[in-house]
Each structure stands twice: as structure tokens, then as C-alpha cells.
Chain A
Amino acid sequence: MQGVLLGEPAVQRRAMAKSITLLESTLPSDRMLADELLTGLLPHSGKSFRLGISGVPGVGKSTFIEALGLFLIAQGHRVAVLAIDPSSTVSGGSILGDKTRMEHLSVHEKAYIRPSPSSGTLGGVAEKTREAMLVCEAAGYDVVIVETVGVGQSETAVANMTDMFVLMQLPNAGDDLQAIKKGVMELADLVVINKADIDASAATRAEAQITSALRLLGMHGHPDHAHFDEEIWHPEVIQISALLNQGVDSFWHRVLKFKRLQLAKQKFEQRRQGQAQSWMWERIDAGLKQNFRGQANVKALLPELTQMVISGQVPASTAARQLLAAYQATGFPKN
């Protein structure tokens, strides 16, 4: 912990890496140490701006984060990037390749980039990333970017741990807007249309379509509307070209405006307080589930009941009730 807080750059980097590994560990003994570490780091955390960025593969997230990261470093910030890569559901393994597209940022002394495998459970990774953010903050990184591949569920997780959630889109995405889940669009504080240089008219079309979609969701206020409130942030849509490094400054300008408005209305703190609560509940859910699965009664019944549910002999709800009853019979065991 001292290494994270006070270390020389090289020492700190290694201490951060080891801390995050500890947080990601699935061993119960490591979990105890991890909780101690978090308790120690907590007073030093919370001072960063937490930015979530999501989008489908190929939308240019990494290229954008590289451009943004370098822009922020030039302004005196220290930037940490936590990237979540999906693990294979078959082998459990993964390929983590984000740094290949952040060549300059990844070697900059004021940047820390850590890709993590999702390990198949998206809920689990959210929990670990949330904790890893605290490590980065304690080490003095004042902008923490959480990057995730858009696969539906992960956006919700990332939106629930960041101060601002940005959704990246391709210019042609407007054509199949239906494909974008309504739920994801509702999470977005800002929609960024990347690669606008490739086809300007398509980008403009996409901007119009997404803007009207946001408006349909009742989220995009319009200056002409009677009840438009300038003091409240309304999700916006902007065009950029990360490859040509165009639009990064205007992007950051929106982020700052968002932050200012959120702070003014105490929404910034409210959001974080809500997130801290859901963090607790996530951990309770995870702990209960782990305990449940590890309990002897449940272990004995689970394979057979699972098979019966699969084959249709027993309704899933009945199986669940039986398992819960078996679990309750011995109470919450210490393990």
C-alpha cells in the first residue's frame, strides 16, 4: 500500500499492478488482504474524474482513448485506463490487446493502462474494476477511464461505477439504430460518433438520428422547448475523428460542462453515493452466492436438481425453492 501511495514511479507502477492483481484474485485469503488494502486506500481515493467509455468492437475506442489520454496529459493530468476484455466462455482464457492501439499513451510516464479479462462473469469484473479505480486514484491518477466492449450487460456495469458514461458509435450505425438497445442509450451521458472523417454525410445523419432517438427517450432537451433547463445536463451527440485527432478538445469541453452542472446540482455526489451503495449490495450478492454454492447441502442437491431442470422434470422455480430451503436449514455457515 505504501508503494501505491508514495512509491517512486517504477515502484508505484509495480505496486499498483500487484494491488490490482490482488483485487482480481478469486482466493478467499487474498480477498481478506484486498479488503485491508482497500480500507487503507479509501481515504486517498475519490479525487479523480471517472469516465466510462463503451462501444462495439471496431468503433475506435482505443484510438480515441489514446488521443484523449495524451490530450489530458498535455494539460497536466495523470491518466489511468482500465480496459475490460471479454473472456472466452469456452476456455475461460482471453486475448488482451488494447495496448497495441495505444502505443504512445501506453509508454507515457503519466499513464497507467491495465487490461483485465472479464473472466466470463460481467458482474464480477465490474466489482474488480470499481476497486481497481480506487487504487489508481490513491496513486494520484486524476482521470480514470474505464473502457469496455459493448455487449449489453457490461455498459450497465460501467455506467454504474463512473461519473460519466460515454457511448461511442460509428457513422453508419444510424442505419440500424434499432439494434442499439434502448437501455444502453438511456445510460449515455454523451454519444460520440467516431470516424466522422470517413463519411461526413453519414456521420451527420447518424447524429440527427441518435439525437432524435435521445429526444424520444425524453432525455435530450432542446433549447426551444418550454421546459428546457440550462442548468441540467442533457445528453448530447458529437462527431469526432480519433484517428485524425479531431474533436478531442470539444469532447473534453463537454465533459467539463457536464461535471460543472452535475457538481452544481449535487448530482455528482448523489451518483457516487448511489454507486457506493450498489457496490455494497453487489458484494453482498456475490458473497451470498459464493457461500450458497459452497454449502454442503446445496452442493449435494445442486447437480441432480440442475439436471432435472434441464430435462424439464422440475420447474426452475421449484428447484430454486428446494435449494434455498436446504440452504436455510443450516443457516449461513462460516467458510
Chain B
Amino acid sequence: MAFTLADGKEYVKTAIAKGMDVDDFAGRLSFFWAVGMNFYLEIAKMRAARLLWCRIMKGFEAKNPKSLMLRTHSQTSGWSLTEQDPYNNVVRTTIEAMAAVFGGTQSLHTNSFDEAIALPTEFSSRIARNTQLIIQEETHIANVIDPWAGSYMMESLTQEMADKAWAIIEEVEAMGGMTKAVDSGWAKLKIEAAAAEKQARIDSGKDVIVGVNKYKLAKEDPIDILAIDNVRVRDGQIDRLKKIRATRDTAKVQAALDALTASAESGQGNLLELSIQAIRLRATVGEVSDALEKVFGRHRADTQKVTGVYAAAYDSAEGWDQLKKEINDFADAKGRRPRVMISKLGQDGHDRGAKVVATAFADLGFDVDMGPLFQTPEECARQAIENDVHAVGVSTLAAGHKTLVPAIIEELKKQGADDIIVFVGGVIPRQDYDFLYEAGVKGIYGPGTPIPASAKDVLEQIKKALG
């Protein structure tokens, strides 16, 4: 929350520095929160955010009351959805949606219950939409503005959140603003450290997730899911691109893109306006961003080096120390530590899971290579070979597993390295497990697999492959 507000503050500062009057644009700013399962805290978060935004905007001497208001969209947490016993997710999403409404969100996105398994079906999307409609039209919940006002618990929780967030906002300010905080990697590091810690609390059973680490089902029944034919999607998209390229006025597009690059270079003109002009002429988003990249370069997300966080939170020693010992024994016997590469393939930018896994594996004593985002199977295979890893772990959350995973296995073979084993983690429907095993995958770890369990299995598979 503090980072989001600090972001907003940075936008306002930038706009004012460009000579705009704060009241001319502040009313159009809008925020976006994820709302998780910590019910009271989520409500307090949104109340505190509103309080702080008003404070921040008064600091910019905004006169229009609309400039002081925090408008927001909320989305229920995708992260709280479970692959196990997935109908529970309907309940989770309902509770999160209620927190968002109690917190006074202006608009709301409710997730579908099957999103930890696959992309949503028509059925699961309908339930998600109806969750909102029921809250809105059956319950009268939406009839009261700020119904928690005056509750001692809620007011003190709100105050506490506001104070803590303000301290972080001031810390960001002391670093020179949010741009510097992001640039230095500090902000990302804090977020990833928190994620690793949370995962460790779940894996160790300190935080309860029904159906995952408590009240587990003996047998999971498969649910109907939406199968995506990636090849068809990709080919369709390529066809569309070809058509657009063939039918548009290439000279005009190029001129518009050049104008964009020139503006970025000189600092004169409005980049957004020029981008829209280019896109109206059917320039692609990729071309527009390329035109800007020529001048600005490309932001590279700094690869975190958080270590120790997971281990610190996972202090239930059972299994952990034993596994660490096994890894040390492996290192003694084989002359080096087990080395795995964690990779993100294709157009899938969800890298928090991969980062958490990398951190935890390193804490256990693995040497972990991180691949960059959006790697192709060829590039991934090459990196795995150059670094001579024992195993490649593919993290997939955007339904690309059926094409990308066989492709990496194929590439490794082609480049002469079929001794490097492949395992997969992320959002993978049970229905696809057999397909992946047949393609040569040695381990599949769905959401909710405790990391030490997957690490143990990876170690066993590496040992087996080495003979």
C-alpha cells in the first residue's frame, strides 16, 4: 500500500514538474489494490490509504476536493486461490470481495475459482461475476458508506496501518522518491522478501490454508477446465499481425514512430499523444515500445538476491535440516552443489513464484541460476547448457506449458544435453500431467506443493539422472 501511494506521489510530482496544475489532473488518478484473505486488515488498508492520499495531496496544495479523493479498483487475490479442493476458492473470493466493498472500492474484479489451475471457463467466470451481483443486489452491503467507521478495532487498525505505511513513504522519499527506490531494486526486494516469508509460513503450516496444509482431501476430483491450444493462439496472433502489416500505410507508420523517437530524444512534445497517433495508424505496441527503447533503453528488473528469508520463516526444523544435509552430502559426493536453473518461458510475466522458489532452493543449499523473463526455449536451453546445470525448472502460470515445456526438452536434446532434467511448477491442470510426463518432464509441482517437498524430489531426480 505504501509503495502504491509513493508511486502515485511520484506521478503527481512529475506532472507538476512538467508545469501542470495539480487540480487539473489529480481527480483522474486511480489506484488498484489486490485484496487478500486478511479480512479486517484489507478493509483497514483501504481506509488508511484514503487517509494518507488526502494527506499527500494536501501537501501538493490541491484545492479541488476531488483531487484529495482516492479512487480505486480492486481485484481479489489470485495468489490466495488454491489448486487443491478448488471450489473453496468461491468462498475465498466472496470474502475478499466483501472486504473490498467494505473498504469502499469504486470498482471490483472477482477472480474465478479455477484460476490456480487454468484460465477460467465460462462457468467459473459466471460464478465470479455473480459473486459481485449478489453482494450488490441481494445483501444491502453496498448501501452503507464506510460501515466499519466507529468500530474501535477498525479505527485503531486503520491508524496503525496508516502510521506504518507513512513511515515507509517517508523512507522512500528519503531515498529520492519511488523512481529511485524501484531503480535501486529496493522496492522489489522488499516485496519478494515478504512473499518468500509468507510461503515459508504456509509450507511450515503456521498459516492455515484449508485443503492445502490442513483438512486436505484424500482424493482430488478433476474439474472441467478450459483447454488452450497455444499453437492456434500463437498462429492466429501472427496472422493478425501479418494482416495489419500488409494493410496499413507503412510509410505513415514509420513516420509516426520516428516522430515518437525524435520526441523522446529531444524531450519536446507529448509522448502519449504521439504514441496514440502511431497506434491509430496501426503501429503495434511492440513497435511503439521499440521506438521509445531506442532512446530510453529498457528497464531490466534486477534479479533479487534475497537469501535467508525463507529459511528464517520456515523454522520448523523437521525435514529442513535433513534436506540441507542431503544436499551437502550430494555436494561432497559429486564435487559440486546441485545446480538448477529456474526459468520463465514465453509471454508470462508472473515471476513472483519463480523468485520465491529460487530463494528457498538457495536457502536449502542449491546453486540457483535465474533466467530472464520472456525467454525462448532455445535461449533457455543454451543458458542451461552454458551454466551446466543439473536441472531446469520451468515456472508457468499462463497456460503455455503444453507447448513450451516439450519445446525446452526438445531444445536440450537438440543442443546435445539430454542429461539435463526438466521439472515444472506453477498453474498446471491435473489433466495435463500425463502429457507432460510423457514429454519427458521429471517432476510437476502445482500450487500448494511445499517447497521443501519439491526440492527433495528435484534432488532425488537429479541423483537418479546422474546414476
Known contacts A58-B184, A95-B358, A96-B367; is-contact A10 B415 (Cβ 8 Å): yes
CA distance in complex: A92, B328 (Å)? 8
Query: Do A21 and B388 touch across chains, with their CB atoms under 8 A apart?
Result: yes
A94 near B368: Cβ-Cβ < 8 Å: yes
Pair B366/A93 contact, Cβ less than 8 Å: yes
Given contacts A90-B311, A91-B362, contact A63 B300 (CB under 8 A): yes
| With contact pairs A13-B382, A100-B370, A106-B383 given, residues A95 and B388 touching in the complex (Cβ less than 8 Å) | no
Residues of chain B lying within 8 A (CB to CB) of residue A98: 303
A27 contacts B311, C-beta separation under 8 Å: no
With A14-B417, A27-B334, A57-B305 in contact, do A96 and B364 touch (Cβ < 8 Å)? no
| Contact between chains at A91 and B363 (CB < 8 Å) | yes
A37-45, A110-118, A256-264 - interface stretch: A110-118
Of B302, B305, B386, most buried by chain A (CB within 10 Å of CB) is B386
Instruction: Check if B467 is an interface residue, CB within 8 A of chain A.
Output: no
The answer to whether B188 has its CB under 8 Å from any CB of chain A is no
Task: Count A-B pairs with CB separation below 8 Å.
Answer: 130
Report the count of interface residues on A (CB-CB < 8 A). 43
Are A92 and B334 in contact (CB-based, < 8 A)?
A: no
Question: Is there contact, CB below 8 Å, between B300 and A95?
Answer: no
CB < 8 Å neighbour of A11 from B300, B361, B373, B416 = B416
**A25-B335, A88-B308, A115-B369 as given contacts; A95 in contact with B379, CB under 8 Å:** no
Known contacts A91-B311, A115-B369; is-contact A96 B387 (Cβ 8 Å):
yes
Contact assessment for A93 and B368 in the assembled complex, using a CB-CB cutoff below 8 Å = yes
The listed residue (B184, B305, B383, B417) touching A99 by CB distance below 8 A is B383
Is A101's beta carbon under 8 Å from chain B?
yes
Cβ contact within 8 Å between A17 and B370: no
Cα A97 to Cα B185 with chains together (Å): 14
In contact, A95 and B324 (Cβ under 8 angstroms)? no
Bound-complex Cα distance A98 to B362 (A):
15
Contact between chains at B303 and A117 (CB < 8 Å): no
A276 at interface, CB cutoff 8 A: no
User: CA of A25 to CA of B332 in the docked complex: distance in angstroms?
Assistant: 10
What's the tally of chain B residues with a CB closer than 8 Å to chain A?
46
A158 to chain B, nearest CB (A): 19
Q: A280 contacts the other chain (Cβ, under 8 Å)? A: no
Q: Which of A14, A25, A100, A243 has the most CB of B within 10 A?
A: A100
Asked whether B297 lies within 8 Å of A95 as measured between CB atoms, the reply is no
**Please, which residues of chain B bring their CB within 8 A of the CB of A27?**
334-335
Closest to A98 in B: B303
**Quick check: is A20 within 8 A (CB to CB) of the other chain?**
yes
Q: Does chain A have a CB within 8 A of B359?
A: yes
Q: Are B303 and A101 in contact, CB atoms less than 8 angstroms apart? A: yes
Chain B neighbourhood of A57, CB < 8 A = 305
For A112, what are the chain B residues with a Cβ–Cβ distance below 8 Å?
386
9 additional A-B residue pairs with CB within 8 Å, beyond A92-B365, A101-B372: A13-B386, A14-B415, A17-B388, A92-B337, A93-B362, A93-B364, A100-B303, A244-B297, A245-B297
- Partner-A contacts on B (CB < 8 A): 184-185, 297, 300-305, 307-308, 311, 324, 327-328, 331-332, 334-337, 358-359, 361-373, 379, 382-383, 385-388, 415-417
* Contacts A/B (CB < 8 Å), 28 sampled: A13-B382, A14-B416, A14-B417, A17-B387, A17-B388, A58-B302, A88-B308, A88-B362, A90-B311, A91-B307, A91-B365, A92-B328, A92-B331, A92-B337, A93-B362, A93-B363, A93-B365, A93-B366, A94-B362, A95-B303, A95-B305, A95-B359, A95-B368, A97-B303, A99-B370, A100-B303, A106-B382, A243-B297
